[in-house]
A and B are shown apart, each in its own frame.
Chain A
């Protein structure tokens, strides 16, 4: 029901303000403004808890002292935090650390450069070898192609020779009559019989 106000919006200039640690204001809780009062709370008059003035005086003193001590502690801790931050950034150890880091950086950069040079050499060798390989392969391929072409030509020449030789036995218009007569005079019989043991029998019934 009561919400705490804190931070820069607090203007503490009221003389009769309660000397609490925080300022409170009323805030709507569970019920809205149109909800009726509960039956058990009909005739209720809210009364704050009774304050014992002697106890209040003692309490105010105690709170004043407590707040003094806590504020002092807070400032002490702030100073410590700032000092630690300062030491970390601009202390004696920080310079040594920075120097060591710079040294490490130099060393690593030198190592990196050396590695780059080495890799460069290795790379040039490799590239050269690959180029030679490629050239060799190209030469081989061309030789192969040449060979294949030669073989092809030879095959074709053989075929041509064979054809030329066969052409001598072709039937032309001049041989036609003579070949017909030869064929009719020499009847060829292609029938033959063969048994399971491979003996061929060419003697058949001729008509």
Chain B
């Protein structure tokens, strides 16, 4: 529904995305993302239409990663025809606004399988050591 879009620029075949943009605090090794509605062709950190939240990828002193969303405006933009990117969709799924993304579930299952494999290997190794001894 292109007719609802605000007419800031004339892009041919362009569309709006909701994506993460690096906030650019000019500090090395300390990223901070803004959840932003922007045109697809714009630079990642360039001019955006509206900021819809933030995401801090590094955990804080209580071991939490902080995320914020402006659900009202996100609803508006998705109603105007914006597409969220994969990480934004994953975050929204974890927040409960969207259904849980399939890849989060599959990656969690894979990790659980991996940890179980390692645990069983350790148990087997211990068993072998006891048998040797």
Contacts and interface: CB of A to CB of B under 8 A. Distances in A.
A81 B77 CA distance: 9
The range of chain A's interface size is 20 to 34
A101 B98 CA distance: 42
B76 interface: yes
Contacts of B102: 59, 62-63, 66
Contact of B78 (A8, A9, A63, A73): A73
Interface in B86-129: 86, 89, 98-99, 101-102, 105-106
Nearest to A76: B79
A74 B78 contact: yes
B79 A66 contact: no
Contacts, number: 49
A198 interface: no
Nearest to B100: A66
Most A CB contacts (10 A, CB to CB) among B13, B75, B89 go to B75
B99 A70 contact: yes
Given A21-B86, A66-B99, A77 B13 contact: no
B1 A69 contact: no
The range of chain B's interface size is 20 to 34
Contacts of B15: 6-7
A88 to B, nearest CB: 13
Nearest to B97: A73
B79 A77 contact: yes
Contact of B105 (A62, A73, A79, A81): A62
B61 interface: no
A185 interface: no
A66 B101 CA distance: 7
Contacts of A81: 4, 75-76, 79-80
A6 B13 CA distance: 9
Interface string B1-23: 10010000000010100000000
Interface of A: 6-9, 21, 55, 58-59, 62-63, 65-66, 69-70, 73-74, 77-82, 85
22 contacts: A6-B15, A6-B83, A7-B13, A8-B13, A9-B13, A58-B106, A59-B102, A59-B106, A62-B105, A63-B102, A66-B102, A69-B98, A70-B89, A73-B98, A74-B79, A78-B1, A78-B78, A78-B79, A78-B80, A79-B79, A81-B4, A81-B75
Given A69-B98, A78-B79, 18 more contacts: A6-B83, A55-B106, A62-B102, A62-B105, A62-B106, A66-B99, A66-B101, A66-B102, A70-B89, A70-B99, A77-B76, A77-B79, A78-B80, A79-B79, A80-B75, A80-B79, A81-B4, A82-B79
